[in-house]
Each structure stands twice: as structure tokens, then as C-alpha cells.
Amino acid sequence: MQQGGGSGKEVTWEDQQNINKFGRLNNRLHELEDEIKFAKESNDNLEDASNELILTDEEVVRFQIGEVFAHVPRDEVETRIEQMKEVTSKNLEKLEEEKGSVVAQMAELKKILYGKFGNSINLEED
Amino acid sequence: MASLSSTAAETTTERRGIPGAQFVEDVERYLTQSGLDVNSSLSFLQERLQQYKLVEMKLLAQQRDLQAKIPDIEKCLDVVAILQAKKGTGEPLIADFEVSEGIYSQARIENACSVCLWLGANVMLEYSCEEGTALLQKNLDNAKASLEVLVADLQFLRDQVTITQVTIARVYNWDVHQKRRMREAVTAEKDS
């Protein structure tokens, strides 16, 4: 991803630290993207589950806890799913927020590093 | 390497057995002080990089293990919590459980006062629900703490990888530069 300053430009410890930071943020960005994808998926699944729950006539549904399916009355499942939805959507919000800040910080670092090294540094994904 | 500390920034420490990469301020001075020519310095750095990559793979595997373990423990905690919640109510917990892959049977759990935790090494121990929860919670906290340490280790390691990569690129570029200058000097001499 990185190429050291080529023609004449000296790389200082400060530059190196900026490059390190950029690399770290880039890694975090990828992790966040995965986590966001995962959180969205579980959010959708919970959404599907609560929709199905509205349609079903059964009074007692099987609700997976750990490895077993417990027989749980429908309204209790409903509240549980609502709670779970709340937790995941809050989590998703937090992740999106962090992603925003990571992207902003990366843009800032890009400005600094491209400003100094111009074409001798490449900060883009292949 | 130790004699080079004058050109290195002072932050080259180590972390949990991972040696810190040394930042090179001035390529020329680095080469003269280490007594290496360009090629041997490059191969030294490449070797370092490979070692870092190896450690990175090991740490990533550990991270994956822990990341799988944490939801497992959370699931166990959920089940114990359900058992505990049912305990006082007098109604049994009816659960379908997997007997074998794809085959389910039904269990009726009445007033469960204890849970058996598989401790590993062919040992299972019976705990009261409270003790079981406490133990599981402790395991969960431990797993989370080790994951945190591991993530910090990985970050440190990746910094060292980046530093080494940058150094490799700079030594290489310096060499290219140097050769070009030498060629120019030779042609200039011929011309004169």
C-alpha cells in the first residue's frame, strides 16, 4: 500500500507515524465494514423474525436460546426480539459513527501525506 | 543493530516478544553505520518482514479463536439466565434439543437448581445457577480482556510491518537514485 518517499523527499519520524496511523485506520475501516455488514444482517433477521411472529397463529413458539429451542409464549418472544433489535440497532449506529470518524481521519491524513510526497506515495487500495 | 540507535527514533521498543522495527531517518547513514550494502540490507529487512507476517498470522488465528469463543460463552450465559428465571415460577421449561445432527427431542426441565459445565479435559462439574453464571461471566471477562490485549499486539505488529515496508522502499529508492547519479557522473566525465 505504501511506498516510501522516492525522489529526494526525506521521510521523517513524524511522516512515518502518520503512515502508521493511516495503515491502522485502514485496517480498522475494513474491520468496521465487516462488522457493519454483520450487524445489518442480524438486524434484518430480527426484523424478519418479528414479521413472521405477527403472521403466526401459534401461541407458543420455539425460540432458540444457546443450542436449544425453548418453547416460549409468543408475546414473550415478541418482547425479547424487540429488545434484541434495540441492542443491534444501537450497535449498528455506533459502528456507523465510528466508520464516519475513521473515514474523516483518513481523509485528513491523506491530505497531509499527499501534500508532502505527491506521487511518490500511494494510499489507495489496489 | 544496536549500534544504530543514533539514527533510529527512540521508540523502538518491543512488545510481548515482538521486536520493534527501527525507523531509519537517513538511509545513507543507516547503511554506513550498519556496515551493510544495499542488497544485504534489503534482504535483512525482507527477512524481518516475513517474520512479522508469520507472527501476524499466528495472532490473527488467536484472534479468530477468541472471537468465536466470546459468543459461545454469551450463549451459555443466556441459557443459565433462562433456567434461573424459570426456577421460581413453577412452570417447566420445555425445550427441543438436538440429540444428533438433525434429530431433535423434547426435554422438560423442572426447577433446575444447578447446571453442569463442561470444563474440558473430559471433566464436567455441577454448579448452582449462581455459581455457574459467575464462572461463565469470569470466563467471558477473561476472553474479552485477552482479545483486547491481542488487538493491541496486532496493532503494534502492523505498525512494525508498515515501518519495515517503508524502510525497504526507501533503501531501494535510495539505491536507484544513487546508481542514476553515478551514471550521470560517468557520462559527464566522458563528455568533458
Residues of B in contact with A3 (CB under 8 A): 169
Q: What is the DSSP letter of A12?
A: P
Structural domain including B60 reads: 2-187
How many domains is chain A built from? Answer: 1
Q: Which residues 123-152 of B have a C-beta within 8 angstroms of A?
A: none
pLDDT means per 10 residues, chain B with 192 residues, are: 40 76 84 85 92 94 95 92 84 90 90 86 92 95 96 92 91 89 87 74
What pLDDT score was predicted for residue A9? 67
What pLDDT score was predicted for residue A1? 44
Report d(CA B181, CA B168) in Å as an integer. Answer: 20
What is the pTM assigned to this prediction?
0.79
Q: Classify residue A61: in a domain, yes or no.
A: yes
Chain A interface residues (partner B, CB cutoff 8 A): 2-7, 10-13, 16, 19-20, 23-24, 27, 62, 65-71
Residue A46 maps to which CATH number? 1.10.287
pLDDT means per 10 residues, chain A with 126 residues, are: 51 88 93 95 94 88 89 90 94 96 95 87 80
Q: Classify residue A87: in a domain, yes or no.
A: yes
What pLDDT score was predicted for residue A45? 95
Structural domain including A75 reads: 34-116
Report d(CA B18, CA A27) in Å as an integer. Answer: 20
Which cell numbers hold the place of A67? 443450542
Residue B134 maps to which CATH number? 1.10.287.370
Could B23 and A16 be called an inter-chain contact, meaning their C-beta atoms sit closer than 8 Å? yes
Chain A contact for B28 (CB, 8 A cutoff): no
Report d(CA B153, CA B158) in Å as an integer. Answer: 9
What pLDDT score was predicted for residue B10? 43
Q: Classify residue B192: in a domain, yes or no.
A: no
Could B104 and A69 be called an inter-chain contact, meaning their C-beta atoms sit closer than 8 Å? yes
CB B111 within 8 Å of CB B88: no
Chain A contact for B101 (CB, 8 A cutoff): no
How many domains is chain B built from? Answer: 1
Q: Classify residue B152: in a domain, yes or no.
A: yes
In Å, how far is A69's CA from the nearest CA of chain B?
A: 5
Question: Does the complex come out with an ipTM higher than 0.90?
Answer: no
Q: Classify residue B31: in a domain, yes or no.
A: yes
Beta pairing, strands A60-65 & A68-73: antiparallel
What pLDDT score was predicted for residue A111? 92
Residues of B in contact with A24 (CB under 8 A): 155, 158-159
In Å, how far is A79's CA from the nearest CA of chain B?
A: 15
